[in-house]
Amino acid sequence: MVQNFNPLMDFARKVECSVKLPSNGGWYDSDNITFNQIGEVDIKPMLPNDEMMVVNPESLISGNSIIEIIKSCCPGIKKPEELYYPDINVLLLGIKKATYGKEHTQEYICPKCWSVKTNILGDEILKLIKERYPNGNVDISKEESKEIESIADENIKSLITEKERNNELCITPQELKINLDDILGSITYMPYDGLVKLNNGVKVYTTPYKCSDKIKFITKKIKFQKLYKHISDSSGIYDNTDEITEEYIKSLEDLSNVYKEIGNLGIDIISASIKYIETPNGEKVDNYEYISEFIRNIDVESVSKIRNKIDELNNYGIIQTLECECMCCGYKWNEKFYGYNQNDFFGISS
C-alpha cells in the first residue's frame, strides 16, 4: 500500500515564534494576512535554500530574496510584495530570531576613540609634509597625498597599539549583545491614516513604502547609479576644462539627464506612497497617473510635507538606533541598528 503522507514531515521545521506587526494588519486587505489566536504572525526558521538567497548580494539588494524568504518563513503572509516597510522589518527580525535564536551581536567602533586616532594620523601627515616641503611651498599631487597618508598610517601603528594596550583608546570593533525579544517588545505602531493637509485645502492620504514599490525603485536607482558611474568614468570629465570637446559637452548632457531621472524617481516613489487624494469639495482621486501628475506640479513645500509624512510612517516599528557605550573611554552614543537595513541585517549563522 502506497503511503500518501511522509511521516518525516512531523519532524520538519515548525513555527518557532510569532510577532505583532506595526500596522496591526489594518492597512491591508483582509485576505492578505492570517493572524494566530493572539493577533500575531507565525514565523518558521529559514531553510538552507533561504540562506543561499541571503548570500546573493544582487538578489538581496533588489529585494527579491526578501519576498521569497517571507513566503518561506511566514505562511500567514499571502502577498509579501504588498507588505509595508515597517512590517517587513519586524518580520525579518522575527525570522532571524526563529532561525538563530534571540541573542544578536552587533559590532561597533567608538567614534570618540576613532577621532583620537584620526587626529594622531593628521598630525603625522602634517609632520611628513613639513619634512618634504620645509620652505612651505606645498604642491602635492593626489598620488603623493595617498603615499604620505600610507606612510603616516604605518608610522603611527605602534603608538596606536600601545594606547590600545594601555586602554587609552579602542579602535578595534567592540560587540554589543542584543536580546531580540527586547527589540520586538518595543516596536511602535502605525496610525491608521497618514493624512497630510496642504495649504490649498487638499488632503493627501499617504502610506509607508510597499515592498513591491521599494524593489522597483531600488532596481531603478541601481541602474542610474551604474549609468552615472559609466558616464563619469568614460566621458573625459577632468579637472582641466580648457579643452572643451564635443565628447565633454555630450557627457555633461548625459549626466544632467541622469540627475533628472533620479529626481523623477523621487517623485515616483512619493506618488506610489499615496493611497488617495481628497479635494476640498470631497472628491477622492486614487488614480496613480493623476496623483503623479499632481505631485509634479505642486510647490516644494507641499512635496516636502508629503515626503516627511511618508518618512514618519516608514520609521514606525523597530527602533532605529541602539545606545552604545565604549568599554575603554566610556563615551556614549547612538549606533544604527541593522534591523532597519535589510541588506546588512542577515549574516549566515551570525
pLDDT digits (tens), the chain, 350 positions: 566 888 888 888 999 999 999 999 888 887 889 999 999 999 999 999 888 877 766 665 556 788 889 999 999 999 998 999 999 999 999 999 999 999 988 899 999 999 999 999 999 999 999 988 888 777 788 888 899 999 999 999 999 999 999 999 999 999 999 999 999 999 999 988 899 999 999 999 999 998 877 777 776 666 666 766 766 665 544 444 455 566 666 666 666 666 676 667 788 889 999 999 999 999 999 999 999 999 999 999 999 999 999 999 999 999 888 999 999 999 999 998 876 444 444 443 33
Closest CA to 46 of 87, 114, 101, 3: 101
Q: What is the pLDDT of residue 296?
A: 93
Q: What is the pLDDT of residue 156?
A: 94
Q: What is the pLDDT of residue 1?
A: 54
Closest CA to 41 of 94, 102, 104: 94
Burial degree of 31 (CB within 10 A; 0-12, 13-18, 19+): exposed
3-class secondary-structure state, position 16: coil
Q: Which residues contact 258 (CB under 8 A, 6 or more apart)?
A: 224, 227, 228, 231
Q: What is the pLDDT of residue 344?
A: 44
8-state DSSP, 267: H
8-state DSSP, 18: E
Q: What is the pLDDT of residue 348?
A: 35
What are the beta bridge partners of residue 205? 195, 276
Distance CA 324, CA 242 (A): 51
Q: Which residues contact 220 (CB under 8 A, 6 or more apart)?
A: 265
3-class secondary-structure state, position 277: strand
Q: What is the pLDDT of residue 244?
A: 56
Phi and psi at residue 159, in whole multiples of 5°? -65, -45
Distance CA 138, CA 135 (A): 8
CB 61 within 8 A of CB 290: no
Q: What is the pLDDT of residue 135?
A: 83
Q: What is the pLDDT of residue 33?
A: 93
What does the radius of gyration of the chain's CA atoms come to, in whole angstroms? 26
Closest CA to 322 of 114, 115, 98, 107: 107
Distance CA 265, CA 307 (A): 13
Task: Name the pTM for this structure.
Answer: 0.80
Burial degree of 7 (CB within 10 A; 0-12, 13-18, 19+): exposed
